């Protein structure tokens, strides 16, 4: 795991990506209390409290990549619980919430209900700044029972839920929408008490919520990144920048449709433009700014297993040697997207 800026790991929220077989225990384990875990492995499971902490298990690994567990931690004491099908943990400043929706012929209404329950939960407990959401979608580019692409079906239900809660959650958070290897949808999110989150767009990309209808009946509901200011320092520009799943999209167009190396490089340029000081200043975050090399806790999603080596090479030559990077061999939300990259800058 990365040891860059270790002091930053004691502020706000932080995570580690660790091999499933070697979860650190004992004195070498990172300090902090576990808020939630996401296990990327070879089969899905219901969201549960495991070892008294929320655990989401998603089918995202096969023979080409290693299973990993992402562990979100906080310095504050944590309280965990169950809310219907969902599990959660909260520390008074942050909440982690996770839920699995099993396979459906059509996802729209169930996704809407899942999202409305999740938003209601966050609102009632006062975690009104959504920070980061993950949407892990089986068969993402396959048709549902009505012939509509499952990603578009999913986006419709999600957009309806956000529309119903627009008075309470007027701003969309950073997110990922990515394929998994089993049917069903796994959703989890991080949210915070109000006043610390700033949502960012990318000057090189059309906001996803403004994508034209050629990409689906309802646009995807997410921002390109969310900056979470450190707790207890709301006026400060120290914090964490949560970078959404980012792909080779300029404006709203996929570029380099048949060249995975160019897609990976374009994606990293998109992240560079997103996290740079100019873009943070444009969003009112004066004095903050990152380089693509500051991206850590990186997840790289590669559609075709044969492309893993070239994408690994590009990521490893762009990012520092001590960067935490995990690779997954899963479909992306447009058939012409071959790679997607996300991470956190501190
Ligand atoms: C894109 O830029 C690529 O639907 O939540 C990236 C991040 C993508 C989040 C989502 C989709 C989502 O449109 C796909």
Query: For the chain, what are the domain ranges?
Result: 6-345
For residue 25, the model assigns a pLDDT of 54
pLDDT at 272 > cutoff 60:
yes
Q: Give the closest residue (by CA) to ligand 1 atom 10.
A: 177
Q: What percent of the chain has pLDDT over 70?
A: 92
Q: CA–CA separation, 54 vs 31, rounded Å? A: 18
Q: Give the closest residue (by CA) to ligand 1 atom 12.
A: 177
Q: How far is the CA of 177 from the centre of ligand 1 (A)?
A: 5
Q: What's the whole-model pTM score?
A: 0.94
Query: Which pairs count as long-range contacts for 202-206, CB under 8 Å and 24+ apart, including other chains?
Result: 202/246, 202/270, 202/273, 202/274, 202/279, 203/273, 203/279, 203/282, 204/250, 204/251, 204/269, 204/270, 204/273, 204/274, 205/249, 205/250, 205/251, 205/252, 205/270, 206/251, 206/252
pLDDT at 231 > cutoff 90:
no
In ligand 1, the atom with minimum distance to the C-alpha of 154 is 4
pLDDT at 202 > cutoff 50:
yes
Q: Give the closest residue (by CA) to ligand 1 atom 13.
A: 208
For residue 17, the model assigns a pLDDT of 81
For residue 18, the model assigns a pLDDT of 85
Query: Would you tell me how many other CB atoms lie within 10 Å of the CB of residue 289?
Result: 17
Residue 195 in tokens: 């006043």
Question: Which residues in 298-336 are b (16+ Cβ under 10 Å) and which e?
Answer: bbbbbbeeebbebbeebbeebbeeebbbbbbbbbbbbeb
Q: CA–CA separation, 58 vs 64, rounded Å? A: 16
pLDDT at 3 > cutoff 50:
no
- Lowest mean pLDDT: which of 5-14, 32-41, 261-270, 294-303? 5-14
Task: Provide the edge-to-edge strand list for the sheet that holds 197-200.
Answer: 197-200, 225-229, 239-246, 339-345, 295-302, 325-328
Is CATH 1.10.3720.10 the classification given to domain 6-345? no
pLDDT at 308 > cutoff 80:
yes
Q: How far is the CA of 219 from the centre of ligand 1 (A)?
A: 10
In ligand 1, the atom with minimum distance to the C-alpha of 244 is 7
For residue 330, the model assigns a pLDDT of 98
Render pLDDT for 68-80 as a digit per residue (tens, 0 to 9). Answer: 999 999 989 999 9
For residue 7, the model assigns a pLDDT of 43
Instruction: Indicate the top mutation candidate among 220, 225, 247 to test ligand 1's pocket, ranked by most ligand atoms within 8 A of CB.
Output: 220
Which of these is catalytic: 69, 70, 340, 342? 340
Render pLDDT for 19-61 as a digit per residue (tens, 0 to 9). Answer: 876 555 544 556 679 999 999 999 999 999 998 899 999 999 9
Q: CA–CA separation, 338 vs 39, rounded Å? A: 23
Q: CA–CA separation, 83 vs 124, rounded Å? A: 12
- Residue 1 CA neighbour count, 13 Å, CB half: 21
3-state SS, residue 112: helix
Pocket of ligand 1 (CB under 6 A): 135, 175-177, 208, 220, 222, 244-245, 247, 249, 333
For residue 9, the model assigns a pLDDT of 46
Q: Is 70 a catalytic residue?
A: no
């Amino acid at each position: 795991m990365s040891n860059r800026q270790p002091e930053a790991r004691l502020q706000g929220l932080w995570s580690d990506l660790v091999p499933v077989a070697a979860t650190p225990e004992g004195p070498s384990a990172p300090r902090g209390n576990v808020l939630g875990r996401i296990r990327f492995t070879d089969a899905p499971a219901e969201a549960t409290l495991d070892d008294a902490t929320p655990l989401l298990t998603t089918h995202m690994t096969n023979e080409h990549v290693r299973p990993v567990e992402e562990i979100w931690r906080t310095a504050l004491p944590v309280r965990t619980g169950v809310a219907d099908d969902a599990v959660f943990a909260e520390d008074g400043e942050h909440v982690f919430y996770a839920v699995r929706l099993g396979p459906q012929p059509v996802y729209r209404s169930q996704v809407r209900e899942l999202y409305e329950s999740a938003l209601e939960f966050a609102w009632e407990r006062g975690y009104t700044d959504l920070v980061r959401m993950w949407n892990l979608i089986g068969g993402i580019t396959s048709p549902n029972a009505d012939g509509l692409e499952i990603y578009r079906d999913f986006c419709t239900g999600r957009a309806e839920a956000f529309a119903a809660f627009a008075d309470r959650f007027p701003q969309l958070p950073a997110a990922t929408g990515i394929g998994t290897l089993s049917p069903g949808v796994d959703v989890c999110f991080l949210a915070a008490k109000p006043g610390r989150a700033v949502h960012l767009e990318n000057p090189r990309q059309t906001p996803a919520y403004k994508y034209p209808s050629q990409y689906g009946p309802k646009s995807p509901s997410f921002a390109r990144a969310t900056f979470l200011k450190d707790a207890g320092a709301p006026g400060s520009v120290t914090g964490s920048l949560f970078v959404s799943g980012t792909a080779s999209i300029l404006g709203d167009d996929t570029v380099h449709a048949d060249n995975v190396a160019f897609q990976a490089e374009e994606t990293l340029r998109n992240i560079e433009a997103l996290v740079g000081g100019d873009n943070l200043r444009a969003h009112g975050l004066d004095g903050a700014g990152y380089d693509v090399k500051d991206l850590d806790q990186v997840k790289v999603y590669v559609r075709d297993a044969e492309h893993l080596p070239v994408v690994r090479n590009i990521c490893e030559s762009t990012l520092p040697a001590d960067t935490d990077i995990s690779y997954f061999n899963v479909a992306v939300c447009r058939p012409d997207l071959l790679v997607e990259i996300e991470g956190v800058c501190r």
